């Protein structure tokens, strides 16, 4: 049993190392092709840009490990940005507005978790429906236009989160790094995270061992929503504006990143670090497309191809594993 666990850990590390090496090769190639790529300004812009998706990827990875996924994360992020700004503009203190937005968005995750964990609804249908509800709420609140953050008590301090730096590192990036370190540590060490792995690997065996599968699944979706809400708050601090399409498409990016990073759509497998490396790699590719003035439509097409390839690799790997077990 110990040897089997050790082999699994080595495979995870190999996957992460592979992504890291590919990313390094991309960086070297792009820096040769475009001197602007490794400029301090471009590095900071890219890092800030990937921070929100990276935070969401932490929760998405846990959802994938549990055997599900969450298509509502992008819309929840947009809803969080929108609510924080609207509450502030109604005269509520910005920090209380942030807390209220977090509570509302986490409650949306609780609804997801209850419907999936306790009612037994399919994660795809459930989170797709909630995605549409959350996005619809954003459209209703914004009226399809943009809403700017009004001035008020504490607003300047809130804005500084999105614009200030500590020892040359943007605060948003530091928050992202802290959450990744905590998330990766807990995913590998905490008993709660181990329950998520057990459920994703074999839910029937997990139930027989005494794990409350319903509660664990519900908490996974609460986590994904809470982290999406955090991403939305950071987005509000950075841009100080809410639009009807804030967070749109984030779910596809983070699912792609998590699968590239080693998470399986079949559940029971994945690492936070791997997902974050996937986010970094995708962000570098996207940044390269922008630097080389590739049409935005081509960017969407390439992102879609990467997603399909990631899923295909996961499915083929799962089939090979199944055949090996049969032999």
Annotate 144-157 with DSSP letters as a single string: TS-EEPPP-TTHHH
pLDDT per residue over 104-131, tens digit each? Answer: 999 999 999 999 999 999 999 999 999 9
Q: Looking at per-residue confidence, does 12 or 43 come out higher?
A: 43
pLDDT tens-digit series, residues 254-277: 998 999 888 888 888 889 999 999
Q: Could you give the CA distance from residue 59 to residue 66 in angstroms, rounded to a whole number?
A: 11
For residue 261 the two structure tokens come to 């990073």
C-alpha distance across the termini of the chain, in Å: 20
What average pLDDT is seen over the chain? Answer: 88
Confidence of residue 5 (pLDDT cuts 50, 70, 90): very low
Q: Are strands 169-170 and 165-166 parallel, antiparallel or unpaired?
A: antiparallel
pLDDT, tens only, 283-296: 998 888 888 888 77
Q: What pLDDT does residue 295 have?
A: 78
Pairing of strands 241-242, 147-148: antiparallel
Band (pLDDT 50/70/90 cuts) for residue 300 is: confident
The backbone torsions φ and ψ at residue 170, rounded to the nearest 5 degrees and listed phi first, read -55, 140
276 or 312, which is more confident: 276
- Give the pLDDT band of residue 18 (cuts 50, 70, 90): confident
Least confident range from 12-26, 73-87, 220-234: namely: 12-26
24 has a pLDDT exceeding 60: yes
Query: What is the pLDDT confidence band of residue 250, given thresholds at 50, 70 and 90?
Result: very high
66: closest CA among 200, 186, 195, 265? 200
Q: Which of 204-208, 233-237, 238-242 has the lowest mean pLDDT?
A: 204-208
For the segment 63-109, what is each residue's pLDDT rounded down to a tens digit? Answer: 999 999 999 999 999 999 999 999 999 999 999 999 999 999 999 99
Local structure of 166: helix, strand or coil: strand
- pLDDT reported for residue 159: 94
pLDDT of residue 321: 61
Residue 109 C-alpha from the chain's centroid: 14
Domains of the chain plus CATH, in order, are: 2-326 (1.10.3470)
Q: How many CB atoms lie within 10 A of CB 94?
A: 25
Cβ-contact 120, 217 below 8 angstroms: no
Residues 110 and 225 sit within 8 Å (Cβ to Cβ): yes
């Amino acid at each position: 049993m110990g040897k089997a666990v050790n082999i699994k850990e080595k495979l995870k590390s190999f996957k992460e190392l592979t992504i890291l090496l590919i990313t390094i090769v991309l960086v070297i190639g792009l820096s040769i092709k475009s001197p602007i790529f490794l400029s301090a300004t471009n590095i900071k812009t890219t890092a800030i840009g990937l921070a929100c998706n990276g935070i969401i990827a932490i929760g998405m990875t846990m959802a994938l490990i549990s055997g599900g996924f969450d298509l509502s994360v992008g819309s929840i992020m947009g809803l969080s940005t929108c609510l924080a700004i609207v509450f502030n503009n109604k005269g509520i203190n910005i920090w209380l507005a942030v807390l209220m937005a977090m509570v509302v968005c986490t409650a949306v995750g609780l609804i997801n978790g209850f419907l999936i964990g306790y009612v037994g609804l399919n994660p795809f249908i459930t989170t797709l429906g909630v995605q549409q509800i959350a996005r619809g709420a954003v459209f209703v609140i914004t009226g399809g236009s943009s809403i700017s953050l009004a001035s008020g008590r504490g607003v300047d301090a809130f804005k500084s989160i999105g614009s200030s730096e500590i020892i040359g590192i943007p605060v948003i990036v530091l928050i992202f790094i802290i959450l990744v370190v905590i998330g990766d540590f807990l995913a590998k060490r905490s008993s709660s995270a181990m329950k998520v792995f057990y459920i994703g690997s074999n839910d029937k065996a997990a139930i027989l061992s005494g794990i409350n599968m319903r509660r664990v699944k519900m908490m996974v979706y609460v986590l994904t929503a809470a982290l999406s809400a955090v991403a939305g708050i950071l987005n509000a601090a950075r841009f100080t504006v809410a639009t009807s399409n804030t967070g749109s498409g984030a779910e596809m990016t983070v699912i792609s990143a998590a699968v590239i990073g080693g998470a399986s759509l079949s559940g029971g497998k994945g690492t936070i670090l791997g997902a974050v490396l996937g986010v970094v790699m995708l962000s570098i590719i996207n940044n390269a497309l922008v630097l080389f003035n590739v049409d935005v439509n081509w960017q969407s097409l390439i992102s879609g191809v990467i997603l399909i390839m990631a899923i295909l690799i996961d499915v083929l790997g799962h089939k090979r594993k199944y055949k090996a077990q049969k032999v």
